[in-house]
Every structure is written in structure tokens, then in C-alpha cells.
């Protein structure tokens, strides 16, 4: 007797492959916003695994297309090498192809796009957005977190003086190299990046606010990822039950 197996791309049948995984019966198309240092990548990955929806990071996709040397990749290379931004039409085209792939049938989580209201409008032409998760973190928490990051000059290993300190101060555990603070991780630079992020995101928060599909997840203090993610899951599931 053959056992019933989970099809690779499940049609309408429920197929729990993981006890932790929740099957959504309608697609969940998510967008995630979060300032540098909020842990957007970490949360996106957890959401992606739990709901079996791909984590689509546009920055990674652009780098991948360029690396593969596709037609689109080649046209993007010019912009990236010239220090400019890739035009919206090209990013939208890559995104359109990506979200029409079979693994997006349950939805997706979009990270790094849209960054402007124009991009949000362009996105609407190719996909619906069900929910925008807006991670907010107090400035002092981010500054403390990012400014405690140290990098090995020799092997590139990353440490955090608070959460992952090296066993000997200033020395890499892996290779004995010297640890230093990157320019980007200095408080004054972080403050500037956060200002830029806020200016850029504000119109988008208002835009999605008018559509009533944005929900804030406020990290009020140094909270553990496990605590925050539970609140995120609650929001996603409450939206789906409506
Ligand atoms: Zn090292």
C-alpha cells in the first residue's frame, strides 16, 4: 500500500507538513516594513516558514538577476554600477514574474518593496496586498543594538557586545583578528539612517493606513524575538479570520 503523500505544490487539500506550520485557506499577501536593526529579515523568515509563503526580498532578487546575467539583470547592472536606483518598471517586472510562480499561490511576504507611494500603486496593478506589518522600534533601542555590533577585520565574523560578545574583548574568537566598529554602525550614522527611513516610510504608512490594511507591531523595549513574533502571528491570523 502506498502512503498518501503531500504533493509538492498542494492543490486545495490541506497538507500539514509541520506541526508549527499553519495552512492558510486563502492567500496571504504581506508586506513588511521595519527600520534598520529591527530584525525584519528574522521576522520575515519565521512568517515565511509558518505560513509556507516565500519571503521575497527585492534587493536579493536584483542581486541574483545580475549575478545570473539574465536580460533584466544586465539592464539593471548599468543602474546599480552607476550608483543609481533600478527603475520601478524593472523591479515591478521582476516581481510580477516572481509572484506568478507556483510557490506564491498561498501568498508571499514582501520585504524591501514598496519604498515609495508610486511603487505601492504599481504593486497594486500586479498583486493585492492583504496586510502590511509595520515594525516600530524606539530609536534608543536600535542605536544600542546596532552600535554594539563589531566585525572582524580579518574574517568578517560579526559579534554583538550585548547579545553575542567575543570571549576576549576586541579579539575574534574564530581567527584572533581585530574587531572594529563599521562606519554604518556608529550612533550618528544610525541616527541619520533612521531619519531617512522615517521620511521614506511615512507616506507609505499613511497610504496603507487609509486602506486600513496596516498594523503596527511596536517593540517597546528589548523584547525577545519569540515574544514579538507571537504578536505578529496573532495579527496575521486575526486578519485571516475576519
Ligand atoms: Zn575573525
Q: How far does the centroid of ligand 1 lie from the alpha carbon of residue 204, in Å?
A: 40
Domains annotated for the chain, with CATH where assigned, are: 28-54+101-241 (3.40.50.300)
The neighbourhood of ligand 1, an ion, using CB within 5 A, equals 152, 154-155, 157, 172, 174-175, 177
Q: How far does the centroid of ligand 1 lie from the alpha carbon of residue 107, in Å?
A: 40
Q: How far does the centroid of ligand 1 lie from the alpha carbon of residue 183, in Å?
A: 18
CA distance 173 to 236: 40
pLDDT tens by residue, 62-94: 888 899 998 888 988 888 888 778 889 999 999
pLDDT tens by residue, 138-153: 999 899 888 999 999 9
Residue 209, SS3 per DSSP: helix
CA distance 121 to 119: 5
Average pLDDT across the chain, whole number? 87
Q: How far does the centroid of ligand 1 lie from the alpha carbon of residue 178, in Å?
A: 7
CA distance 242 to 236: 10
Q: Which three cell numbers stand for residue 75?
A: 539592464
Q: How far does the centroid of ligand 1 lie from the alpha carbon of residue 162, in Å?
A: 18
Res. 241 pLDDT band, cuts 50 70 90:
low
**What pairing do the DSSP bridges indicate for beta strands 214-218 and 55-57?**
unpaired
Q: Contact at 8 Å (CB) between 214 and 239? A: no
Task: State the average pLDDT over residues 100-114.
Answer: 94
Catalytically active residues are 40, 115, 149, 182, 193
State the pLDDT at residue 125.
94
* Placement of cell 515594525 in the chain: 135
Q: pTM (2 decimals)?
A: 0.80
Judge whether residue 239 has pLDDT over 90: no
State the pLDDT at residue 22.
62
Burial of 228 (0-12, 13-18, 19+ CB in 10 A): buried
**Percent of the chain predicted with pLDDT > 70:** 88
Amino acid at each position: 500500500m502506498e502512503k498518501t503523500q503531500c504533493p509538492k505544490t498542494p492543490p486545495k487539500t490541506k497538507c500539514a507538513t509541520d506541526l508549527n506550520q499553519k495552512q492558510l485557506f486563502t492567500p496571504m499577501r504581506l508586506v513588511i516594513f521595519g527600520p534598520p536593526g529591527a530584525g525584519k529579515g528574522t521576522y520575515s523568515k519565521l512568517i515565511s516558514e509558518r505560513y509556507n509563503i516565500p519571503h521575497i526580498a527585492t534587493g536579493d532578487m536584483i542581486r541574483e538577476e545580475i549575478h545570473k546575467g539574465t536580460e533584466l539583470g544586465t539592464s539593471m547592472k548599468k543602474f546599480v554600477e552607476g550608483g543609481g536606483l533600478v527603475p520601478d518598471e524593472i523591479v515591478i517586472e521582476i516581481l510580477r514574474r516572481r509572484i506568478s510562480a507556483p510557490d506564491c499561490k498561498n501568498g508571499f511576504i514582501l520585504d524591501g518593496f514598496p519604498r515609495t507611494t508610486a511603487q505601492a500603486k504599481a504593486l497594486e496593478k500586479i498583486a493585492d496586498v492583504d496586510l502590511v506589518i509595520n515594525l516600530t522600534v524606539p530609536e534608543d533601542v536600535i542605536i544600542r543594538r546596532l552600535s554594539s555590533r563589531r566585525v572582524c577585520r580579518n574574517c568578517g565574523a560579526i559579534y554583538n557586545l550585548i547579545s553575542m560578545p567575543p570571549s576576549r574583548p576586541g579579539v575574534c574568537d574564530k581567527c584572533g583578528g581585530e574587531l572594529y566598529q563599521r562606519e554604518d554602525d556608529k550612533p550618528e550614522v544610525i541616527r541619520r539612517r533612521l531619519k531617512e527611513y522615517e521620511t521614506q516610510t511615512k507616506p507609505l504608512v499613511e497610504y496603507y493606513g487609509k486602506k486600513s490594511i496596516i498594523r503596527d507591531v511596536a517593540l517597546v523595549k528589548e523584547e525577545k524575538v519569540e515574544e514579538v513574533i507571537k504578536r505578529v502571528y496573532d495579527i496575521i491570523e486575526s486578519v485571516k479570520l475576519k
